[in-house]
Structure 1
Amino acid sequence: MLPSVFSERLFDNVFGDPFSMMTNFHGHGHGSVFGKHGKNLMKTDVRELENSYELDVDLPGFKKEQVNVELDDGYMTICAAKGVEHDEEKRGQYIRRERSSGECCRTFYIGKGLEPKDVSARFEDGILRISFPKAPAEKEPEDRRVSIM
Structure 2
Amino acid sequence: MLNLMPFSHREDNLFNYLDNLEKNFFGDMDQNLSQFRTDILDDGDHYTMKADLPGFAKEDIHIDLNDNTLTIHAEHNEENETKQDNYVRRERRYGSFSRSFDVTNINTSDIDASYTNGVLELKLPKLEVTVPEPRKIEVK
TM-score, normalisation: structure 2:
0.63
Assess if the C-alpha contact under 8 Å between 2:81 and 2:88 holds in 1. Answer: no
Q: Any gaps of 5 or more consecutive residues in structure 1?
A: 1-8, 21-35, 143-149
TM-fit CA distance, 1:139 = 5.0
TM-fit CA distance, 1:87 = 1.4
Q: 1:73 aligns with which of 48, 67, 70?
A: 67
Q: Provide the aligned length of Structure 1 versus Structure 2.
A: 112
Aligned to 1:11: 22
TM-score, normalisation: structure 1:
0.60
Aligned to 1:87: 81
Q: 1:112-147 CA distances to partner (integer Å, 9 max, x unpaired)?
A: 6633x410010000000100111233759x8xxxxx
Larger CA deviation: 52-61 vs 105-114? 105-114
TM-fit CA distance, 1:86 = 2.8
Measured in 2, the distance between the counterparts of 1:125 and 1:17 equals 26
Measured in 2, the distance between the counterparts of 1:107 and 1:80 equals 12
> What SS is found at the alignment partner of 1:50?
coil
Measured in 2, the distance between the counterparts of 1:83 and 1:62 equals 9
Measured in 2, the distance between the counterparts of 1:137 and 1:57 equals 27
Aligned to 1:43: 37
Measured in 2, the distance between the counterparts of 1:17 and 1:93 equals 30
Assess if the C-alpha contact under 8 Å between 2:106 and 2:126 holds in 1. Answer: no
Q: 1:62 to 1:107 in 2, by over 3 A?
A: same
Assess if the C-alpha contact under 8 Å between 1:74 and 1:114 holds in 2. Answer: no
How many percent identity over aligned positions?
27
Runs of 4+ in 1 over 6 A off after TM superposition: none
